[in-house]
Chain A
Amino acid sequence: MKILVPLKRVADPDNANKVKVPADGSKVDTAGLEWKANPFDEYALETALRLTEDGKAQKKRLGEIVVVTFGPKDTEATLRAALATGADRAIRVETDDDHIDGIIVAKALAKIVAEEKPDLVMLGKQQVDGDTNQVGQILAELLDWPMATFAGTVQEEDGGLLVGREVDGGQLDVRVKLPALVTVDLRVVNPTSVYSKVTDKSKFKYAEGVRFAPLPAIMKARKKPLAVKNLGDLVEDTALRVKYLRYEAPPERAAGVRVPDVDALVDKLKNEAKVL
């Protein structure tokens, strides 16, 4: 199976409360925050790796994974990290975050899909900085491919996938035939969430979470192919459909008080907050 995995870098999401919006609202300042791969995209890559291996013999790769990102030269670090983790090839589309939106990214990806002809596109359900949640769905529509968004489980079958989607009120199972598109949710990296056809489900469990690249792989990844493309060569219409005018800081919420015991808590809720 050949899988295309789009990866986006984000400002360290575990410190997102440190972003600053200057008084003129001109930007979100992420100075001091390290770049990290969007966690959902790491999960998408992990899912792609699980689908292209026998869990019990992971050294032998049974498919091809191509990773792609949109950004300036230094976003190649994100791609190299993915190559070290097990992806085979990388593509960077030269651009910057201020000049793309979900439609543009999806259109460029559609063009890359036409060139690369993957069996599967595997994305994160959402970038955790822009919190937009749309590229996968738009891309599936542009390709006229079936999609399964918010995947919590993925089981490979003959010619397709059985996907458990996390939705309101439970899990919705859908079956997609390849080529298809999947966006992943958090639970997809649980130990028994993803199985390729050749991994014996009754005998094998993954470690929780995503795998890490061993040191030698990081060295080797420097030699894996990384192609650079221009956005303008992939998309004709690069006019933004979503225009960001300015930014605002959220209202502060002040910390309240500590109560010494349960009685004090009940008293506060009853007599001060008046919610009892």
Chain B
Amino acid sequence: MGNVLVLAEVAEGKLRKTTHSAVTFARDAAAQLGGTYDILVIGAGVDGPAAEAAKLGAQKVLVADDASLENYLAETYAPTVAEVGKGYQVVVGTASPFGKDLLARVAGKLDAGYASDIVSLLPQENGKLTYKRPIYAGNAFVICQLESPVEIVSVRQSAFDPAAEGDGAAATEKVAVVGPSSALDRVSWVTFNSVKSERPELTEADVVIAGGRALKEQFYDILNPLADEFSAAIGASRAACDAGYCAPDLQIGQTGKIVAPGLYIAVGISGAIQHLAGMKSSKVIVAINKDEEAPIYQITDYGLVADLFKAVPEFTDKVKAARA
């Protein structure tokens, strides 16, 4: 028997949806181990997110709440996560920037093996949890196991359906906050420059419209009306992010966000290997590119070879008409 601890992610006083994917993993892993899963909610003033977490089928919700945890730093969070986590067989979070930053540091603290960004939990082999994770920008998978008393795992959000809320509420329990490591004396949180968007989160949207270098300064002028039409999230290639046409956190790809929406529309994106790694699990893929040789067409369901500056506004109008 073994139990699983889910590291919850909180932003702006709410539980992030990233958490729900980690919970789905935890439910399956706990079932394999004949154990249960708990959720750790950590931060300052996190009663709200803890109450949300309590609806996710856990045995217990553990709450580490302290004013010192107001602004996230791995140096302040890791000691508590490690202290709580060492009582579990598996500690799991989601491979968002938060999870990637923190879980690896926790692995260091616990001298534990860490499988990052896994896409599935396979049936056990030799009585051990067995994970599958993409390597080489998704051009191969490795099947792996972890050899340490505590196993640290992060899940790829797009590969695990979000756990649904249930009716019952798990008991919540306060846990002690462990004082930060001495590294804290040398790090301070300065400011968070947030780029607000009213659109759905990229990793949760049913439709993603992604733009590339070709859009130039007209990135939003061209994409916004189409995105509005689909209530879509907007994403981008690295080249568009690097050029400053949009914020870096819109980058989709091997080294950005991984998405798998029902519909993905690539506008003026060539389809480099690193980009494909972030979207090729999408259900329906559409590309609009003026170069008929663009590699993106190797994986698109519907390819339109056209000048995007003409085709996208026309497409937007005709989608609107088709839905009317």
Which residues of A does B touch, CB under 8 Å?
11, 13-17, 19, 21, 25, 28, 40, 101-103, 106, 125-126, 128-134, 136-142, 144-150, 152, 160, 162, 164-178, 180, 185-187, 190, 239-250, 253, 255-259, 261-263, 265-266, 268-270, 273, 275-276
Contact = CB atoms under 8 A, between A and B. Distances in A.
Contacts of A28: 135-136, 140, 142
A128 B137 contact: yes
A265 B134 contact: no
Given A131-B137, A174-B187, A137 B143 contact: no
23 contacts: A13-B274, A14-B273, A17-B137, A102-B104, A103-B107, A103-B111, A103-B112, A129-B135, A144-B182, A145-B183, A146-B186, A150-B101, A172-B191, A241-B148, A242-B144, A250-B140, A262-B304, A262-B314, A265-B304, A268-B302, A269-B319, A273-B301, A275-B207
A241 B143 contact: no
Contacts of B185: 177
A152 B241 CA distance: 12
B147 A243 contact: yes
Contacts of A101: 113
Interface string B56-89: 0000000000000000111100100000000000
Interface residues of B, number: 98
A1 to B, nearest CB: 15
B140 A19 contact: yes
Contacts, number: 286
Given A165-B97, A174-B190, 7 more contacts: A16-B139, A138-B114, A147-B75, A186-B241, A186-B255, A256-B303, A258-B302
Interface of B: 11, 72-75, 78, 95-98, 100-102, 104-109, 111-117, 125, 130, 132-148, 181-195, 207, 238, 241-242, 247-249, 251, 254-255, 262-263, 272-274, 276, 280, 284-286, 292, 297-306, 311, 314-315, 318-319, 322-323
Contacts of A145: 183, 186
Nearest to A240: B147
Nearest to B134: A131
B132 A248 contact: yes
A185 to B, nearest CB: 8
Mostly, the A contact residues are mixed
A177 B303 CA distance: 51
B145 A245 contact: yes
A262 B143 CA distance: 43
Given A138-B105, A169-B249, A244-B142, A262 B125 contact: no
A243 B130 CA distance: 10
A187 B241 CA distance: 8
Contacts of A15: 273
Contacts of B195: 169-170
Contacts of A148: 187
Given A168-B96, A276-B319, A144 B263 contact: no
B164 to A, nearest CB: 23
Contact of B301 (A19, A176, A247, A257): A257
A162 B190 contact: yes
B188 A175 contact: yes
Contact of A262 (B113, B139, B194, B311): B311
Contacts of A244: 142-144
Given A19-B140, A187-B242, A276-B323, A167 B302 contact: no
